[in-house]
Amino acid sequence: MVRESRVMADLTQFLARVSGATFRERCQSICKELRCADQRYDWVGMYWLEGDSLALGPWSGRHATEHTRIPVGEGVCGAAVREKSTIIVDDVQSDPRYLACFLETQSEIVVPIFAAGRIIGEFDIDGVVIGAFGEQDKVFLEALAANIGKEWPGR
């Protein structure tokens, strides 16, 4: 199990590298910093919940995704909102929910972002190796998502 004190120390160090005066600028910086900090994080994006769908927000990656809007319940991203929980997919080819974006993607982690007790969005992170994400990623990203939820201007 990942120790909470270690996660908080890692989160504090990570957030010290994040820049931006506005919430959107900070979220864009978070995506870039996550991708640069860990080579397993090939594409990092944030989706915001708008009604019954997720709308692509800030992202960092080699390519833009064609999935700029995802209905709640569709794909791994929509499933994470429906289930209100983090989903780790070790091998996207074996998960029928996966919405293919990039040929090189092999794994995915999706982490909901909550504010005031409700989902406002999520992280969607792709990896280029099978089994790229584990418990340490989940715990750290959930702590980061909680921090974002506290900063969300729509609270």
Using one digit for the tens of pLDDT, what is the confidence trace for 126-147? 999 999 999 999 999 999 999 9
Helix, strand or coil for residue 50? strand
The beta strands (E) that lie in 51-146 are given as: 53-60, 69-71, 87-89, 107-115, 118-127
Query: Once rounded to an integer, what is the mean pLDDT over residues 64-72?
Result: 92
How many residues are recorded in the chain? 155
Eight-state DSSP code of residue 131: T
Tell me which of 3.40.50.1370, 3.30.450.40, 3.40.50.300, 3.20.20.70 is the CATH number of domain 4-151.
3.30.450.40
**What is the per-residue burial (b if ≥16 Cβ within 10 Å, else e) of 20-29?**
eeeeeebbbb
Place of tokens 């209905």: 71
Domain boundaries, the chain: 4-151
pLDDT digits (tens, 9 = 90+) for 44-67: 999 999 999 999 999 999 889 889
